[in-house]
Every structure is written in C-alpha cells, then in structure tokens.
Amino acid sequence: MKTFVSKNKDNLITYGIVVVAYAVMEILIKAGLISSLMQGLLVPLCAYVILAVSLNLTVGILGELSLGHAGFMCVGAFTSAFFSKITMNVITVTWIRFTLAIVIGFIAAGLIGFLIGMPVLRLKGDYLAIVTLAFGEIIKNVINVLYIGKDSKGLHFSMKDAVALNLEPEGDVIINGAQGITGTPKNSTFTIGVILILITLFIVLNLIKSRDGRAIMSIRDNVIAAESVGINITKYKLLAFALSAALAGVAGVLYSHNLSSLMATPKNFGYNMSIMILVFVVLGGIGNIRGSIISAVILTLLPELLRGLSNYRMLIYAIVLIAMMLFNWAPKAQAFRDRLLDKLMFWKKKKVTVTEKEGGASDER
C-alpha cells in the first residue's frame, strides 16, 4: 500500500528543482549555449509557471474549474504597468518601484478575484467554468476600451477615445485603449522571475499544509461533510480563489514588465491563454504543484525546441500532449511509474548505505 511521503521533504524537493533548473540555465546562458530567442522566452516562462501553480490552487486544491485565469493576469499586468509608468520619474530606484508594482499587481488582481468570486463561487463545475470564462473576457474587453491620461491637473479617465480625455497639450496618454500601455520599464529578468516562482511556491505550499489548506481541501473532497464539521465554505472558497487570482496578478506583473508595449489581445490575455494554463495544470497533475511547474516548462519550451521541424511542429506538440496525459493519468502508466520510483529509491538507499559504510571505515582509520 502506498503511504504518504512526508510533505515537508516533498516541498524542499520542489524548491530544489526550481533552484537547480535556474542554476543550470544560468550556466548555459553564460556558456553561450542558449539562443537569444530562447533567452527571450525565459521571463514569460517564469510567468507561466506562476500561473500554472496559482491555477492549481483553484483547480487542484479547491477543486473548482476556472477558465478566467488570464483575466486576473491581465489585471495584474495593467495595474502594475500603469503604476510603473506614472511613477517612473517619481520613484527612481528601480527595485523599490518594481517591488511596489508587484505588490500592486498582487492586490489589484486579488481584489478583482474576490469581487468576482463572491457571486461566481456559488456555482459549481461546468457552470462555474463558463462564468469565469466570461469574466475573463469581460476584463480583457474593458481594458481594451479604457483610456487614462495624465497632465498637470491629474488623471483623466474615458471609455470613449483618447481625445475625450481632454488632456492639456503636454499631457500624456498612459493607457490608450486597444493600443494599451507603451514604454513600461523593462524590469523583469529571469532571476526576478525565479524569485517570484519561489515566493509563489512558498505561499501556496505553506498554505496547503496548514489549517486553512486543510479546510480548502476538505471542501474539495466533500462539501456536505465539511459543512457538518463547521468549515466556513464561503470563506475558504473565496480565500483560495482570491489568492489564486492575486498570484496570477503577480505573473501579469512579470509579463508586462518584459514588454515595451502591452496590449490586451486575445492571444495573451484571452481564453486561449486561460485554457493553456489549464492544460499545464491538468497535464502536470491536478493538485500536484511540482507537476504544474514541470509541464509549464516543457510545454512552453517545446514549440521553440521543435522550430526546426517547421510544419510538423504542432503535430509533435499535440502528440507530446497526449503522451504526457497518458503517462500521468493512465493506470498502467502510473503503476509503471511507481515501480520505476521504487527501483530508484532502492538504488538510492543502497548507495546511501554504501557511502555510510565507507564513511565509517574512514573514521576508523
């Protein structure tokens, strides 16, 4: 019978994988083995990993299907880019401004997640998925008609066009409707991305293994039983959903500060993106945080790695999707994986005992 592995050790392994992957990547970059195209992908990659981990909080831990995750990312991206743009000349120390931008993206997306979550979380399953999909699209479309400008009198808002802002001649249009925000400082780096991944992991993993996390998972496993032992269903659903949204907002901050021009297009903040994040989560294993990270990395890098195959690229991508799905979820494959893991563990144990013996011998000498 399979028993629980100690969760603490498990968490350390997850952090370790991220740190080691980061170190390897840095070495490869220093050695000049990574193409500039690939290097350009690293920051979005970090954003996707954060998105996958945060969506897993809703889908895997809370057990509710959400298809609006890109919408929360969009909120984080635009609020933080807006903040960075207007304070570019006020706060000149980059790291302070960027830290504040991250906090603002986190809070703004969390707040929107909270507001949307209140009515929406009464729904379940497919209904919830469709409504979150709709809200995600609404967020993107509202931002597409939003005009905000700044002049000496302060900020001007409009939902019509840039002219309706009535700016003074020297005024500056910051959010220009469908053209979005241009000239956001490019503060995101791979290192910052990895740090944010680690912080996200820290928050999510610690939350899961706590009183709140247990309450959230009890709702996933059996709502009626959770209510019968006095778990406040609404509170914990909202906590998980809003935190998940807030972390998506952080991914948005990372994403927006990597682009000189930020636009809310269907490609980056539409439902395609939401579904892609869901694919990361499902393939990595629902509720499996480490799996989310790995599948996000593989599925982001794969299309680039396969670029040489031109026309067959998407075909192979699709085959890999199916293969990963089978590997992760088919009962036969699971049994095979367990056997493999047992063998590895055995090998490791043997190695440890051997080294211990050697250590003992050297002590005697």
Partner 1 sequence: MKDNNHVLEVNNLSISFGGLRAVDDFNVTIDKGELYGLIGPNGAGKTTAFNLLTGVYKPDEGIIKLDGKDITGKSTIEINKAGIARTFQNIRLFKDLSVLDNVKVGLHNLYEYSTIASVFRLPKYYRVEKEMDEKAYSLLKVFDLDSSAKLKASQLPYGKQRKLEIARALATNPKLLLLDEPAAGMNPNETKELMDTISFIRKEFDMTILLIEHDMKLVSGICERLTVLNFGRILAEGNTAEVLNNPEVITAYLGE
- Give residues 253-312 in contact with partner 1 (rule: CB under 8 A): 287
207 counts as binding partner 1 under rule CB under 8 A: yes
215 counts as binding partner 1 under rule CB under 8 A: yes
202 counts as binding partner 1 under rule CB under 8 A: yes
From candidates 4, 89, 308, 332, binder to partner 1 by CB under 8 A: 4
Residue 102 contacts residue 196 (beta carbons within 8 Å): yes
CB of 234 to partner 1, least distance (A): 10
221 counts as binding partner 1 under rule CB under 8 A: yes
356 counts as binding partner 1 under rule CB under 8 A: no
The span of 36-44, 130-138, 231-239, 265-273 binding partner 1 (CB under 8 A) equals: 231-239
CA distance 166 to 164: 5
With H, G, I as helix, E, B as strand and everything else as coil, classify residue 170.
coil
CB of 7 to partner 1, least distance (A): 9
93 counts as binding partner 1 under rule CB under 8 A: no
From candidates 94, 232, 261, 353, binder to partner 1 by CB under 8 A: 232
By beta-carbon proximity to partner 1, the closer residue of 21 and 207 is 207
The span of 28-36, 81-89, 163-171, 218-226 binding partner 1 (CB under 8 A) equals: 218-226
From candidates 25, 59, 102, 217, binder to partner 1 by CB under 8 A: 217
Comparing CA positions, the residue from 22, 69, 46, 5 lying closest to residue 288 is: 5
Neighbours of 12 (CB within 10 A): 12
CA distance 44 to 96: 22
211 counts as binding partner 1 under rule CB under 8 A: yes
CA distance 152 to 241: 39
From candidates 228, 310, 311, 362, binder to partner 1 by CB under 8 A: 228
201 counts as binding partner 1 under rule CB under 8 A: no
DSSP states of 98-167 as a string? HHHHHHHHHHHHHHHHHHHHHHHTTS-HHHHHHHHHHHHHHHHHHHHT-EEEEETTEEEEESS-SGGG--
Q: Which residues are CB-neighbours of 252 under 8 A, at least 6 positions away?
A: 47, 72, 73, 74, 75, 76, 77, 78, 80, 105, 109
363 counts as binding partner 1 under rule CB under 8 A: no
Q: Which residues are CB-neighbours of 94 under 8 A, at least 6 positions away?
A: 185, 187
Supply φ then ψ for residue 258, to 5 degrees: -110, -5
Q: Name the residues that contact partner 1, by CB under 8 A.
A: 1-4, 202-203, 206-207, 210-215, 217-218, 220-222, 224-233, 239, 287
